[in-house]
Structure 1
Amino acid sequence: MNKSQLQNYLNWQSLGMRLGAVGLALLLWVFVVSENEYTMVIDMPIEARNLSAQKAHKKEVPEYAQVRLKGPGRVLFKTLLLKNFITNFKLVIDLDRISEEYDFYLNEYYERYPQKVVFPPSYDLEYIEVVYPDSIHISLDEYMVKKLPLIAPVRIKTAPGYTMVGKINLFPDSITAAGPREVIENMTYISIIKDTFMLQEFDLNVSLKIDMQTRSLVEYSQTTILMHQDIQSVSERIISEIPVKVVNVLPNLRLFVNPTTVALTVIGGVDRIADIESDDIIVTIDFAKQWISGKNYYEPTVKIPVDILEWQDLSPRNLELVVTKDIN
């Protein structure tokens, strides 16, 4: 196909689309302005009402049913356009006398209770039948309320030279879930939607949504949670006069450590390490595990707070341990 043939083909395609659009518009115009009656299948919202306060749905009720309606063309067209915005346009299912399980056969139900097919008074519509579904199964359970802790499956990556200090804080740290007993009693926590935050240099303060996709039948006391994570630039600081302790000492022995204190460098968030005291760092020699007869110098074990990145440059690295018998 050469360039000229391609251009002619595209022109014919464009012309066909235009003629089709004009034809469709003309058909819609005739349909809308016509006073003739037509039938049309339209999605109608389903409202399950009068549920007992002591009951909850075990299974979801369909949101819509496909209903065949009859009316003037202009009314049907208006209904089709505005059906999602009309409050009194719905199919009502009354759950007042339902205790656990019940099947609503919709055409039989609305033939018996035509007043439960609700149209706006100004809409000249006639209900014909429900096309789909033909029935709705209602399954109810005891209503249960439970307070549960929140978890935050979020990934936070700091920018180079920065670090997270402490744990993620959630406000609140627990909320209430309510719904069918068989669901609520098996829940042990409520999760926030997974999220990722990259190259953070400042404290993270965000509002996050709880994950409701897997628990559609559950209601929550609130759905938005505040999350805070302390983020600081990395620095280092020398901590001195850290006391040395000897643990797991055998009876009838007296132990002396020389020197009795050590110094080291801690690395972590600049504000966090500024608050570190010598007593916050635990330096120990485990006599039961480390002592060897004839050995005088031992390297101690160092334990730092969990929100400190690391320590280095222990001074002195080896300590003299003098062991004597207690003569008393």
Structure 2
Amino acid sequence: MAVLKILQNALIKNFQVKLFSLLIAFFLWLYVVTDNYFIYKVKIPLILSNKPQNKVLLNPVPSDVSIEVKGTGKDILRFLYANKKIVINIKNLENSAQYRLSVDMIKGIPENSGIRPIRIINPKKINVQVDEFFVKKVPVVPDIHLKPMDGYIQVGDVCLEPDSIIISGPRSKVKSLKMVVTDSVFYSKIIKDFKGEVELINPDKGAIEISRKKVKYKAKFQRIGERIFTRIPVEVINVPKGISVIVVPSTMTLRLQAGVEVLSKIDKSMIKATIDFRSRNRYPNKKLSAVIELPDNIITYEAKPQFFEIIVE
């Protein structure tokens, strides 16, 4: 313990002086070291300048280039903080061209600097392709899966806001696109109206721009109920002129299953039951079933009776 206390006292005594001396020694060492020559690898931006009017890149090009430089430590430090870059002028590019990169293309080397670019490491060449700029409106298709709790049902489809967006980019890519799809979403045990926001999937990042990154979605959910409609008239259609027919029985009873709010808005005038007279010729001496037209969002229905007789008078 005594030895430890002596060491602590030795470190604490004149601490500021010792710290200052250490910093001076460090900077002296740094000054000497940075006068030495080094070979250093660094990434610099790759810039395409003077893009042709109404043209866009068909495929993305690398955003930077790895190079190797030689210089003193001081020169390399200055180079790292300089606005260095490789610039390729594509003003006269019609469709596509290949450019071989060289150290002569490097711009922004500080003046009076001893830095010397040695070589291009990667990429050594780039392919640049341009295409006509094209804009198009496409629908958004939801990949949204909403599962209600038992005893409940989703009423209608998932609604998107907006349901379409603008995409832009190379004509050859944009023109062939028919839609943009949302990210995949899944929720379960839903018992009430549900809404949220979902990201859109860019079909070709780097080449195609989409007018927005997200859309809103919503869906209606209701508790499942049942309702019985009696004395629904059954009508015979496509009866030839001069012929009179009757249907036996002349009405039916329907048991409908749907969301409770959907059922509350249904009346008999929205239900239609018909039998095509021509089917009597295809199925002689047989009772016929009726075609039932119902409002939207009906889950199931049960009709009684299921078969009817057409009597020609």
TM (normalized to structure 2)?
0.76
Q: In the alignment, residue 103 of structure 1 is paired with which amino acid?
A: Q
Question: What does 1:93-172 correspond to in 2, within 5 Å?
Answer: 93-107=88-102, 110-111=103-104, 113-114=105-106, 117-118=107-108, 127-172=117-162
What displacement does 1:127 show? 4.2
Q: CA RMSD in A?
A: 3.3
The question of whether the paired residues in 1 share the 8 Å contact of 2:78 and 2:110 is answered with no
CA displacement, residues 177-198 of structure 1 (integer Å, 9 cap, x when unaligned): 1111111121122222233222
Q: Which residue of 2 aligns with 1:288?
A: 278
Distance in 1 between residues matched to 2:229 and 2:238, nearest whole Å: 26
Distance in 1 between residues matched to 2:94 and 2:55, nearest whole Å: 8
Distance in 1 between residues matched to 2:53 and 2:150, nearest whole Å: 54
What displacement does 1:135 show? 0.9
The question of whether the paired residues in 1 share the 8 Å contact of 2:140 and 2:164 is answered with yes
TM (normalized to structure 1)?
0.73
Q: Which residue of 1 aligns with 2:264?
A: 274
Q: Which residue of 2 aligns with 1:252?
A: 242
User: In the superposition, relative to structure 1, how do residues 224 and 90 fare at CA in structure 2: closer, same or farther (>3 Å)?
Assistant: farther
Distance in 1 between residues matched to 2:254 and 2:149, nearest whole Å: 26
CA displacement, residues 28-51 of structure 1 (integer Å, 9 cap, x when unaligned): xx8899424423212333232332
Q: Which residue of 2 aligns with 1:228?
A: 218
Of 253, 261, 265, which residue of structure 2 is paired with 1:263? 253
Q: Which residue of 2 aligns with 1:12?
A: none
The question of whether the paired residues in 2 share the 8 Å contact of 1:31 and 1:74 is answered with no
The question of whether the paired residues in 1 share the 8 Å contact of 2:79 and 2:115 is answered with no
Question: What does 1:169-248 correspond to in 2, within 5 Å?
Answer: 169-214=159-204, 216-248=206-238
Q: Does 1:310 align with 2:310?
A: no
The number of residue pairs the alignment matches comes to 282
User: In the superposition, relative to structure 1, how do residues 35 and 294 fare at CA in structure 2: closer, same or farther (>3 Å)?
Assistant: closer
Structure 1: runs of 5 or more not aligned: 1-29
| Identity level (%) | 24
Distance in 1 between residues matched to 2:79 and 2:184, nearest whole Å: 40
The question of whether the paired residues in 2 share the 8 Å contact of 1:172 and 1:226 is answered with yes
Distance in 1 between residues matched to 2:74 and 2:191, nearest whole Å: 60
User: In the superposition, relative to structure 1, how do residues 233 and 42 fare at CA in structure 2: closer, same or farther (>3 Å)?
Assistant: farther
Larger Rg: 2
What displacement does 1:140 show? 0.7
Q: Which residue of 1 aligns with 2:34?
A: 35
Structure 2: runs of 5 or more not aligned: 1-28
CA displacement, residues 210-232 of structure 1 (integer Å, 9 cap, x when unaligned): 21154541111112111222122
User: In the superposition, relative to structure 1, how do residues 31 and 300 fare at CA in structure 2: closer, same or farther (>3 Å)?
Assistant: farther
Q: Which moved more, 1:215-224 or 1:41-50?
A: 41-50
Q: Which moved more, 1:46-55 or 1:178-187?
A: 46-55
The question of whether the paired residues in 2 share the 8 Å contact of 1:33 and 1:73 is answered with no
CA displacement, residues 258-303 of structure 1 (integer Å, 9 cap, x when unaligned): 56543322111122222222232221122211466666x6542323
Q: In the alignment, residue 148 of structure 1 is paired with which amino acid?
A: V
The question of whether the paired residues in 2 share the 8 Å contact of 1:92 and 1:118 is answered with no
Q: Which residue of 2 aligns with 1:67?
A: 67
The question of whether the paired residues in 1 share the 8 Å contact of 2:96 and 2:130 is answered with yes
